[in-house]
Amino acid sequence: MEEQLHAAVAAILRQYDHRRGNLLPVLQAVQARLGYLPPEAMEQIASAFGVPPVDVYSVATFYAQFRLKPPGRHQFKVCLGTACHLMGGHTVLDCFERRLGIKEGETTPDREFGLERVACVGCCALAPVVVVDGRVEGRVSPTRVDGLLLSFSLEKSRRETPATPTNGGGGSPYGA
Amino acid sequence: MGAPKIVRVGLATCGIAAGADKVFQALAQELTGQQDVWLKQTGCLGMCHNEPLVEVLTPAGESYLYTKVTPEKATDIARRHVLGGEPVRDWLFDDGHYLAKQKRVVLRNSGRIDPESIDDYLEAGGYQAIAKALREMTPEQVIGELEKSGLRGRGGAGFPTYLKWRLTRQSPGRPKYIICNADEGDPGAFMDRSVLESDPHSVLEGMLIAAYAIGAREGYIYVRAEYPLAVKRLKLALAAARERGFLGENILGSGFDFDLKLREGAGAFVCGEETALMMSIEGKRGMPRFRPPFPAESGLWGKPTSINNVETYANVPWIILNGGEAFAQYGTERSKGTKVFALAGTITRGGLIEVPMGITIREIVFEIGGGIRSGREFKAVQIGGPSGGCLPASLADTPVDYESLTQAGAIMGSGGLLVMDDSACMVDVAKFFLDFTVKESCGKCTFCRLGTKQMQAILQRITNGEGREGDLELLEELANSISRASLCGLGQTAPNPVLTTLRFFRDEYEAHLYEKRCPAKKCRALIRYQVNPDRCNGCGLCNSYCPTNAISGEKKRPFSIDQNLCTHCGLCFNVCRHEAISVN
């Protein structure tokens, strides 16, 4: 596992020269590959760039894009820009938090769902907006949140059906 | 073979979110292989409220615009209109005043050309401006033309573009850089996203002209990572421009070399500030630095750098082709040309508009935007995002130009224009923006880092009904200190939303403070939700959504809310289909 991670980061590092200006692109590429920035990866990048690991860490923690923990299989980004705020974005975030039992910035224990907030995705005429696995959903209502979660938990139980014939949706928001 | 019929589908992020990709597929299924029919993807026409949009152009040049098209409707449109020749009148868009009051310079190609095709851009006159500049004009003449146009920076501050270019040109250091600021971070603003998704080449061409005028050989586009489609289309545009020789060495045989690198931002609002943006390109934390020296002298890696935003660059090719005077005929004495606004909020026709400077807020809201969606009363516009301010309906006749808006207490900003009806609580809006700046402050300056936090705490207690005597004065004092003692635009302007709402809506603050009442019924701590037994049919939907089990009752009988358990989240209010929940 650790070796795989090392090899993946090394492969990305080979694509860039290690001038400081390339630090952000490298971090972005590593996150795109691994889904987040594990400490080992940051150390490896630091030594390639010839800077202390804390420099890499300070950059990674400055920018909202970088995750230091693994994301969920499905990632929800609830937009809380001005238009979404006025049109009830917080209610949508509340719905996700309650149904998933996690707060924004967290991932469900089964790593099925991750929840984030985002400052604005620029689709203000469709507020409130949620980005679901990179796809923009407009005019999201509390009932739509349930619909989304239901379709994902159905997908999950289908995926797991061969191994566990019943009770497949362990991480289902409807479990309780 | 006659001229083809053209069918265009708007495939920018807004359109896709509304289902335009499925509409496109439905059309493709009907029209692929048909002779004389050309199905095209295009960018944003600006009518976000009517997405998905399909436009049918006849060989004679007539245009038919269909709005809110579903895949089923698309199939019908393909069969009856495109193939059958009979427009489906019922679904045609009645233009109204939406486009009549607009003047499209920046958005000249948006919604018309395929943003992923350089040939489309060339056919629309693309890359002729850079050809003209290289063949017929000296760099000084290019800058002179910009001076005549009166173009000022569209990112918000309104610095004269020609002057920025001239200062960078005259600066002694080498090499020189140019940067396109596409880190559009203001919540409620999506002008740059739309331009990049709809007409990326116009930005590249503007940058080429700037590079020629300044004497730069290398440039960067710094684009927000939250805009994946814009990033994708920029990459395609860069590759196509390079392949056709518009980027690289010896461009158009002129001996002029220039190339561009694309950098994705990483989600820090402060990087929209020019010095912070350059720190970010250098691979550091995006923290602003002291100016002077200005970037024109010492910018990226300490070299002379000119940095402009997307909309500014998109204006440049038009100015070079049509002349500075042609541009200057639009607008007011000191604010020339047009401005793109992202119109959103509780407005009937939200979307992207481009208007001549000097138009009034009233014209934008009522004639272009069609007024308030809900039929409620127009209360205020928020202009300029977290750096801007809220102007009340009574100031709706303020002309939209740099000076008038600043005088009124707001700013032009980058172009977010949010319309609010009387259901918006102005204290809550001010708090929203402050929450945003608290989160996004980089932490360098004490007043910005801690002062905004103090203001946030005061607003929090006011909206909780726990405000204290003297809180409003304290807010004002903090606001003034933060404005004066912060290094960059983020901190200097962070108090604006609070200051303008205090100025124009002080009575609302006072209602929260002294009467413990939220007039707009928004602030959770100050409202109560109740079931109206006459309207409740006992469906129990509210009960199933209530997070605290505060709602109880028997099916088919009116439910009731236990005020001790209710957290005022408003979910029941939102899900009820019978308007049986009231808020007091």
Please determine, looking at this structure, whether the domain spanning A74-160 carries the CATH number 3.40.30.10. yes
Q: Would you call A24 and B186 a contact, using CB atoms and an 8 Å cutoff?
A: no
Assess contact for B518 and B297: CB atoms under 8 A: no
Tokens describing residue A59: 């950059």
Nearest partner of B224 among B176, B191, B201, B247, judged by Cα: B191
Out of A59, A63, A82, name the one closest to residue B382 (CB). A82
**What would you report as the CA-atom Rg of chain B, rounded to the nearest whole angstrom?**
26
Q: Would you call A59 and B432 a contact, using CB atoms and an 8 Å cutoff?
A: no
Query: Is the pLDDT at A166 greater than 50, yes or no?
Result: no
For chain B positions 270-309, those within 8 Å of chain A (CB to CB) are 280-286
Tokens describing residue B447: 């007043």
For chain B positions 315-344, those within 8 Å of chain A (CB to CB) are 342-344
Report the predicted TM-score, pTM, of the whole model to 2 decimal places.
0.92
Report how far residue A98's alpha carbon sits from residue A144's, in angstroms, rounded to the nearest whole number. Answer: 14
pLDDT score for A173: 41
Higher confidence at residue B466 or residue A87? B466
Q: Would you call B17 and A126 a contact, using CB atoms and an 8 Å cutoff?
A: yes
Assess contact for B43 and B12: CB atoms under 8 A: yes
Query: Is the pLDDT at A162 greater than 70, yes or no?
Result: no
Give Cβ neighbours of residue B34 (< 8 Å, ≥ 6 apart). Answer: B82, B83
Give Cβ neighbours of residue B30 (< 8 Å, ≥ 6 apart). Answer: B74, B75, B78, B79, B82, B83
pLDDT band at A159 (very low <50, low <70, confident <90, very high): confident
Out of B194, B266, B545, name the one closest to residue A63 (CB). B266
For chain A positions 17-76, those within 8 Å of chain B (CB to CB) are 19-25, 27-28, 58-59, 62-66
> By the CB < 8 Å criterion, does B49 face chain A?
yes
Please determine, looking at this structure, whether the domain spanning B5-94 carries the CATH number 2.60.15.10. no
CA atoms within 13 A on the CB side of B3: 8
| For range A50-56, the mean pLDDT | 97
Question: Could you tell me the residue ranges of all domains in chain B?
Answer: 5-94, 118-328, 338-421, 426-514, 528-583
Report how far residue A56's alpha carbon sits from residue A32's, in angstroms, rounded to the nearest whole number. Answer: 17
Report how far residue A112's alpha carbon sits from residue A148's, in angstroms, rounded to the nearest whole number. Answer: 13
Helix (H) or strand (E) holding B435: helix B426-440
Query: Fold for domain B338-421?
Result: Ubiquitin-like (UB roll) (3.10.20)
Fill in the amino acid letter for B189: A
Q: Which residues of A touch B228 (CB under 8 A)?
A: 134
Q: Would you call B418 and A124 a contact, using CB atoms and an 8 Å cutoff?
A: yes
| For range A19-40, the mean pLDDT | 96
CATH (residue range B426-514): 1.20.1440.230
CA distance A63 to chain B (A): 5
Assess contact for B124 and B114: CB atoms under 8 A: no
Report how far residue A82's alpha carbon sits from residue A127's, in angstroms, rounded to the nearest whole number. Answer: 9
Tokens describing residue A119: 């400052």
Query: Fold for domain B118-328?
Result: Rossmann fold (3.40.50)
Report how far residue A36's alpha carbon sits from residue B95's, in angstroms, rounded to the nearest whole number. Answer: 47
Nearest partner of B385 among A139, A120, A43, A46, judged by Cα: A120
pLDDT score for A122: 83
B256 Rama sector, left if φ>0, alpha if ψ -120 to 50, beta otherwise: beta
Fill in the amino acid letter for A98: R
Q: Would you call B14 and A125 a contact, using CB atoms and an 8 Å cutoff?
A: yes
Question: Could you tell me the residue ranges of all domains in chain A?
Answer: 2-62, 74-160
pLDDT band at A175 (very low <50, low <70, confident <90, very high): very low
Give Cβ neighbours of residue B308 (< 8 Å, ≥ 6 apart). Answer: B153, B155, B161, B164, B178, B179, B180, B181, B210
| For range A78-95, the mean pLDDT | 90
pLDDT score for A86: 85
Report how far residue B61's alpha carbon sits from residue B81's, in angstroms, rounded to the nearest whole number. Answer: 15
Complex confidence, ipTM: 0.90
A7: exposed, middle or buried (Cβ count in 10 Å: 0-12, 13-18, 19+): exposed
Q: Which residues of B touch A54 (CB under 8 A)?
A: none
pLDDT score for A171: 43
CATH (residue range B528-583): 3.30.70.20
Q: Would you call B18 and A83 a contact, using CB atoms and an 8 Å cutoff?
A: no
pLDDT score for A170: 42
Tokens describing residue B164: 């920025």
Overall CATH class of domain A2-62: mainly alpha
Residue pLDDT tens, chain B, 584 long = 457 899 999 999 889 988 999 999 999 999 998 888 999 999 988 888 889 999 999 988 888 999 999 999 999 999 999 999 999 998 988 766 778 889 999 999 999 999 999 999 999 999 999 999 999 999 999 999 999 999 999 988 899 999 999 999 999 999 999 999 999 988 888 999 999 999 999 999 999 999 999 999 999 999 998 899 999 999 999 999 999 999 999 999 999 999 999 999 998 999 999 999 999 999 999 999 999 999 999 999 999 999 999 999 999 999 999 999 999 999 999 999 999 999 998 999 888 999 999 999 999 999 999 999 878 999 999 998 899 999 999 999 999 999 999 999 888 888 999 999 999 999 999 999 999 999 999 999 999 999 999 999 999 999 999 999 999 999 999 999 999 999 999 999 999 999 999 999 999 999 999 999 999 999 999 999 999 999 999 999 999 888 788 999 999 999 999 999 898 888 899 889 999 999 98
Q: Where are the alpha helices (DSSP H) in B252-309?
A: 274-281
Dihedral sign for Cα B200, B205, B206, B210, please: positive
